[in-house]
Amino acid sequence: MPKHVALLALATAALAACEQTRSATAPATAPAAAIASALDAQRAADAAGRRAVYTLTNQVAGNAVAVFNRAADGTLTAAGTVPTGGTGTGAGLGSQGAVALSDDGQLLFAVNAGSNDVSVFTVGSAGLSLASVTPSGGTLPISLSVHGNVLYVLNAGGNGNISGFSVGSGGTLAPIAGSTQALSGTNVGPAEVAFSPDGGRLVVSEKNTNLLDVYAVDANGAAGGRISVASAGGTPFGFSFGLRNELFVSEATGSASSYVLGAGPLSLVSGAVSNHQGAPCWAVVTNDGRFGFTGNGAGSVSAFTIAPDGSISLVDASGASAVISGGVNDIALSGNSGYLYVLQTGGVQAIHAFRIQSDGHLVPLGPITGLPAGTRGLAAR
């Protein structure tokens, strides 16, 4: 078989495991103050007892946020659902970041991929309250990221774009002039948008083109021109920034890579490190920047150590730090990075909880079930 045909077949199989987006029917260091502020906000939210895990039911008849209270030991208890005021697709979004929390945990943002809008909730002691529903600036919103009072949405429909909004104190959204920017082309298969730690840049992963796009963000919150960098591994999907400007990227063809986002474009540190597991598609990094985890579509989690220079290596030689019966679809860390949560969508729809040990190993705490088919996205605090 010709090499290019074999690579195409591998990428296609990887995307099938991760799911495609479907329509409705010495590194540079971020400013210490910015890092400290985000970490302090996370610690304060956890200390105040505002602990929960959120996912989206993503139903065509009406989307909702499913809420699970998180106990101090990391275990979850179902706490009901809250309608978003929009609709879902009932199927895969092919993304990471469909639901996200503000740094202080006081606002929750959710995509409505079926109705092309974004819902914002205030988070209080009594739970979630819907604050606003706003058009996403495109079609098929699948991922979002917030930094301070700026929110960006990744729209996968049509030609695809990113679009920015200013966030009001009560959870209202207002479009930022000049913020909507194109992706590298059409049918690029975008997966995630996320801010750099200092909020000065945005990164978008493109599955179909094997590109990572970087956009500068100005003082008004408007994204500028795009610089695209070739991914070290095939089919870049979910990613997460570390404590500084290290970027940890999952690659659905079976690997993870790390980069440093310096003054210029992304610089590769560790390229296409195999995790020996099927379809690593979702990625998170602990608050202290020491560990990264990939959620693998085939039904496992891989733990990586992250060195101070951003280089990565497996915690477990097999790459199977946790094995889940059924396909994985997303992962999230608690606000204090003490616990990892994994969304299972193959077979039983469930969220699995794990305690993260000091060496990066995972201790299972058990799953919680009762979610409808089509559930997507995961966020925790």
Q: pLDDT tens, 27-72?
A: 333 444 444 444 444 444 454 557 999 999 999 999 999 999 999 9
How far apart are the C-alpha atoms of 335 and 43, rounded to whole Å?
7
- Measured distance CA(329)–CA(158) in Å, rounded: 24
What per-residue confidence (pLDDT) applies to 18? 80
Inform me whether the pLDDT recorded for 1 exceeds 70: no
Region 331-336: what's the mean pLDDT?
A: 97
The whole-number pLDDT of residue 243 equals 86
Q: What is the pLDDT of residue 55?
A: 98
> CA angle, corner 44, sides to 49 and 72, nearest 5?
35
Q: What is the pLDDT of residue 263?
A: 85
Question: What pLDDT, on the 0 to 100 scale, is given for residue 38?
Answer: 45
Choose the weakest-confidence range: 159-163, 186-190, 324-328: 324-328
Burial category of 244 from C-beta neighbours within 10 Å (exposed 0-12, middle 13-18, buried 19 and up): buried
Check residues 15 and 33 and name the one with the higher pLDDT: 15
Q: What percent of the chain has pLDDT over 70?
A: 87
CA 59, CA 280: separation in Å to the nearest integer? Answer: 25
Asked if residue 21 has pLDDT above 70, the reply is no
For residues 381, 151, 142 and 259, what is the CA-based torsion angle, rounded to 10 degrees? -80
| Better-scored residue on pLDDT, 175 or 263 | 175
Is the pLDDT assigned to residue 14 strictly greater than 90?
no
Backbone phi and psi for residue 380, each to the nearest 5 degrees, phi listed first: -145, 160
For residues 118 and 105, give the distance between their C-alpha atoms in angstroms, rounded to a whole number.
17
Quote the pLDDT of residue 380. Answer: 98
> In the chain, what is the straight-line distance between the N-terminal and C-terminal CA atoms, in Å?
48
Residues in the chain: 381
Percent of the chain clearing pLDDT 90 (strictly above) = 83
Three-state secondary structure string covering the chain: CCHHHHHHHHHHHHHHHHCCCCCCCCCCCCCHHHHHHHHHHHHHHHHCCCCEEEEECCCCCCCEEEEEEECCCCCEEEEEEEECCCCCCCCCCCCCCCEEECCCCCEEEEEECCCCEEEEEEEECCEEEEEEEEECCCCCEEEEEEECCEEEEEECCCCCEEEEEEECCCCCEEECCCCCEECCCCCCCEEEEEECCCCCEEEEEECCCCEEEEEEECCCCCEEEEEEEECCCCCEEEEEECCCCEEEEEECCCEEEEEEECCCCEEEEEEEEECCCCCEEEEEECCCCCEEEEEECCCEEEEEEECCCCCEEECCCCCCCEECCCCEEEEEECCCCCEEEEEECCCCCEEEEEEECCCCCEEEEEEEECCCCCCEEEEEC
Summarize pLDDT for 221-269 with one digit per residue, the tens.
999 999 999 999 999 999 999 988 999 999 999 999 999 999 888 999 9
Q: Examine the pLDDT at 7 and tell me if it is beyond 80.
A: no
pLDDT at 300 over 50: yes
For residue 204, the model assigns a pLDDT of 98
Average pLDDT over residues 301-306: 98
Residue indicated by tokens 């020491």 = 290
Pick one of 2.130.10.10, 3.40.50.300, 2.40.10.120, 3.30.420.610 as the CATH number of 3-380. Answer: 2.130.10.10
pLDDT tens figures, 361-370 = 999 999 999 9
- Mean pLDDT (the chain, rounded): 90
Please compute the mean of the pLDDT values over residues 213-223 and round it to a whole number: 97
- Predicted TM-score (pTM) of the model is 0.90
Give the tens place of pLDDT for each residue, 108-152.
999 999 999 999 999 999 999 999 999 999 999 999 999 999 999
The region that residue 151 occupies, defined by phi over 0 for left and psi between -120 and 50 for alpha, beta otherwise, is: beta
CA distance 334 to 60: 29
The pLDDT assigned to 325 comes to 80
Q: Is the pLDDT of residue 356 over 50?
A: yes
